[in-house]
A and B are shown apart, each in its own frame.
Chain A
Amino acid sequence: MVRTLDDLGPGQEGTITRIAGEDGLSHRLAELGFTRGVTVRSVRRAPLGDPIQVRIRGFELAVRASEARRVELA
């Protein structure tokens, strides 16, 4: 099983290897800066476990777990 952004615990970081899929979502993730070699950190999860607050390239965004699973890490 490939490690994804969804698997990171709070405060953990990972280095991106690829974005799974070839649809609008994967392209949008890439455009926002989720590209190979970039470090992404999982800051925390919302009270009900979803979405996830992540930090990448100096900014933060909220990503749903299903979306986070597209971000594959080393």
Chain B
Amino acid sequence: MTPPSSATARAEPPHFPALGSSANPYVVAVIGNPNTGKTTLFNALTGLSQRTGNYPGVTIDSTIGSFTVEDSHFLLVDLPGSYSLAPRSPDEIVAVRALVGSGETSRPHAVLCIVDATNLERNLYLLTQILDCGLPVVVGLTMVDVAKREGIRIDYRALGKRLGAPVIPVHAARREGISPLRRAIQDAVQQRGPAPRPVRFAAEIESEVDQVARRMANGKRSRVIGKRSRFLAKRLLLDGDGLLGDTLSDDVLSRAIPQAARDFAASARQRLRDRGIAIPAIEVECRYQSIADVLEASLANGDAPRFRWTRRIDAVITHKLWGTVLFLFGMALVFQAIFTWAAPFMDAIDAAFSSIGLFVGNFLGEGAFRSLIVDGVIAGTGSVIVFIPQIAILFALITIMEDSGYMARAAFLMDRVMSGFGLSGRSFIPLLSSFACAVPGIMSARSIESRRDRLATIMIAPLMSCSARLPVYVLFIAAFIPARSVAGIFGLQGLTLFAMYSIGLLVAPLVALLLKRTALKGAEVPFLMELPPYKIPSWRVVLFRVYDR
């Protein structure tokens, strides 16, 4: 018997980090309707571990955070808020792509769906779509305190059983429900939770879905239909006429969907339509019907009229006369804030950088290098940093307006004016801010959902003469325009200044219209904008958003 040879060095097999370890955390996708307190809950779950990431291929940010339960590590990925998985713009495909992944092993391990207790019916629409995806689902129920006040009573356990996903009430700001939620997520990723119970559509539809799903595996007919394939097949069948069917819209998804599946889905849609089943309308019908059944057993609405305070406030804010007056006053305040409140800080920064420049300059000899450091690096950095107070103040004000719910009302008031030149009410605040300073104005345009509107707004923002130009205008006017009077009252110089501002204002709508018709051609995005109930803005959210920007 020869002893085991130790002459040959054997390679160690690669050590793959265990699932749930910090090197290989459980991945949980977080999704929900807009205005559900998703951000606050995300913060409560992940704390300071948050960072802003980037979804490939789209212009929106993703937020990623993590938490630990005992020895298990979790990575939370925030998906953009939406009302439905049916994508209507390239940005909205992100959610479907994240849930599908680029393969069975690259999907999240579970999905956390945030649901607003005061808006159950509508929120459940997205949830029932998520239940299709084959991953374990956990429901984080927010606004439960508001619901209680409104007299809404929800049987969480019954609801959870009907859905096949545990429903955990949380109060993020008070940190209530966070531990149970984390534990439910842990159970979910370790497959210890309930199995999701998706909505079953009519038999003909489900059998067509099966057929499409069989063709998902590289066109080869497979006998076993995986949940991922089935989810993708159903979405393809329902949304295939739109963006999901467009091969160029997303490379990850187009690789996942073979042509055979695409073709079959198209013919399936036709067969169903011939039988009087409207695609995609049938999805809405089936889901809301199912939601009504589910809520029958678990929801009791109060009798009192809801959202009294919000209605009272709205009566003033959106009032034809007072609402407009209040709005103009508010905007003037925002403007003023950016101009004057930031000024002392900006002067201080300016002075600080000049001092640094002088100080450093003393150590360096005359010449190009010194100039590079003092005038280039230091002054250059200073000229960027000097904007920070303005940006911070603007973003603080904007976040307060957004979080309190006022922003939606502002867009509501201004929409008619803005649609006159092809934009929507959502563009108003970024454009107004650009009069003070285009930098924070353009940055705040990131919140505009429609890509075309967002770009158009950013393009015309510089046309709103910003405050830095004022001294230049004044100087040039003083130098070139004689101090004559026109029509007895107006000074020619004053008129010219007015004209400089007006030219920008007049050209802007034309440019916006032009852009939307030519370079930024595309489908119009519906305005439909939710007017959430008023709430006192949370300081945490404001501070975090300002810090983040």
Contact assessment for B288 and A35 in the assembled complex, using a CB-CB cutoff below 8 Å: yes
Q: Which residues on A sit within 8 Å (CB–CB) of B412? A: 46, 51, 53, 62
Q: Using known A-B contacts A28-B526, A44-B318, determine if residue A62 contacts B119 with beta carbons closer than 8 Å.
A: no
Q: Using known A-B contacts A58-B121, A60-B531, A61-B531, determine if residue A27 contacts B324 with beta carbons closer than 8 Å.
A: no
Nearest CB of A to B428, in Å: 12
Say whether B148 faces chain A, with CB atoms less than 8 Å apart. no
Q: Which B-chain residue is minimally distant from A56 (CB atoms)?
A: B122
Contact assessment for B528 and A32 in the assembled complex, using a CB-CB cutoff below 8 Å: yes
Q: Using known A-B contacts A46-B318, A49-B416, determine if residue A58 contacts B118 with beta carbons closer than 8 Å.
A: yes
Say whether A25 faces chain B, with CB atoms less than 8 Å apart. yes
| In the complex, chain A residues 44-64 whose Cβ is within 8 Å of any chain B Cβ | 44, 46-51, 53, 57-64
**Most B-side CB within 10 Å, residue of A27, A44, A49:** A27
Contact assessment for B531 and A53 in the assembled complex, using a CB-CB cutoff below 8 Å: yes
Contact assessment for B119 and A59 in the assembled complex, using a CB-CB cutoff below 8 Å: yes
Say whether B300 faces chain A, with CB atoms less than 8 Å apart. no
Nearest CB of B to A60, in Å: 4
Q: Which residues on B sit within 8 Å (CB–CB) of A30? A: 281, 284
Give Cα A14–Cα B255 distance, bound, in whole angstroms. 46
Nearest CB of B to A5, in Å: 12
Contact assessment for B531 and A27 in the assembled complex, using a CB-CB cutoff below 8 Å: no
Give Cα A33–Cα B415 distance, bound, in whole angstroms. 23
Contact assessment for A59 and B526 in the assembled complex, using a CB-CB cutoff below 8 Å: no
Q: Which residues on A sit within 8 Å (CB–CB) of B201? A: none
Q: Could you say which of B38-46, B83-91, B244-252, B465-473 contacts chain A?
A: B83-91
Contact assessment for B415 and A46 in the assembled complex, using a CB-CB cutoff below 8 Å: yes
Q: Which residues on A sit within 8 Å (CB–CB) of B408? A: 62
Contact assessment for B528 and A63 in the assembled complex, using a CB-CB cutoff below 8 Å: yes
Q: Which residues on B sit within 8 Å (CB–CB) of A62? A: 408, 411-412, 415, 425, 527-531
Q: Which residues on B sit within 8 Å (CB–CB) of A35? A: 284-285, 288
Nearest CB of B to A53, in Å: 6
Q: Which residues on A sit within 8 Å (CB–CB) of B314? A: 43, 53
| In the complex, chain B residues 121-137 whose Cβ is within 8 Å of any chain A Cβ | 121-122, 125
Q: Which residues on A sit within 8 Å (CB–CB) of B280? A: 27
Give Cα A63–Cα B532 distance, bound, in whole angstroms. 14
Give Cα A31–Cα B416 distance, bound, in whole angstroms. 25
Q: How many residues of B sit at the interface, in one of the four size bands?
A: 35 or more
Say whether B389 faces chain A, with CB atoms less than 8 Å apart. no
Say whether B180 faces chain A, with CB atoms less than 8 Å apart. no
Contact bitstring B301-320, A, C-beta under 8 A = 1, else 0: 10000100000001000101
Contact assessment for B284 and A48 in the assembled complex, using a CB-CB cutoff below 8 Å: no
Contact assessment for B528 and A61 in the assembled complex, using a CB-CB cutoff below 8 Å: yes
One of A27, A48, A60, A64 near B530 (C-beta < 8 A): A60
Nearest CB of B to A28, in Å: 6
Q: Which B-chain residue is minimally distant from A50 (CB atoms)?
A: B416
Nearest CB of A to B305, in Å: 11
Q: Which A-chain residue is minimally distant from B311 (CB atoms)?
A: A43
One of A33, A46, A53 near B125 (C-beta < 8 A): A33
Say whether B504 faces chain A, with CB atoms less than 8 Å apart. no
Contact assessment for B306 and A58 in the assembled complex, using a CB-CB cutoff below 8 Å: yes
Contact assessment for A51 and B84 in the assembled complex, using a CB-CB cutoff below 8 Å: no
Nearest CB of A to B101, in Å: 24
Q: Using known A-B contacts A35-B284, A48-B417, determine if residue A28 contacts B122 with beta carbons closer than 8 Å.
A: no
Contact assessment for A46 and B529 in the assembled complex, using a CB-CB cutoff below 8 Å: no
Q: Which A-chain residue is minimally distant from B322 (CB atoms)?
A: A47
Say whether B523 faces chain A, with CB atoms less than 8 Å apart. yes
Give Cα A29–Cα B318 distance, bound, in whole angstroms. 23
One of B121, B417, B419 near A33 (C-beta < 8 A): B121
Say whether B194 faces chain A, with CB atoms less than 8 Å apart. no
10 inter-chain pairs at a CB distance below 8 angstroms, sorted by A residue, are A24-B242, A31-B86, A46-B416, A51-B415, A51-B425, A51-B529, A57-B119, A58-B121, A61-B530, A64-B527
In addition to A22-B281, A28-B84, A58-B119, 17 A-B residue pairs with Cβ atoms within 8 Å of each other are A28-B526, A31-B83, A31-B284, A32-B83, A33-B121, A35-B284, A43-B314, A46-B412, A47-B321, A48-B417, A50-B419, A53-B412, A57-B119, A57-B121, A58-B301, A63-B528, A67-B527
Binding site for A on B (CB under 8 A): 83-84, 86, 88, 118-119, 121-122, 125, 242, 278, 280-281, 284-285, 288, 301, 306, 314, 318, 320-321, 323-324, 408, 411-413, 415-417, 419, 425, 523, 526-532
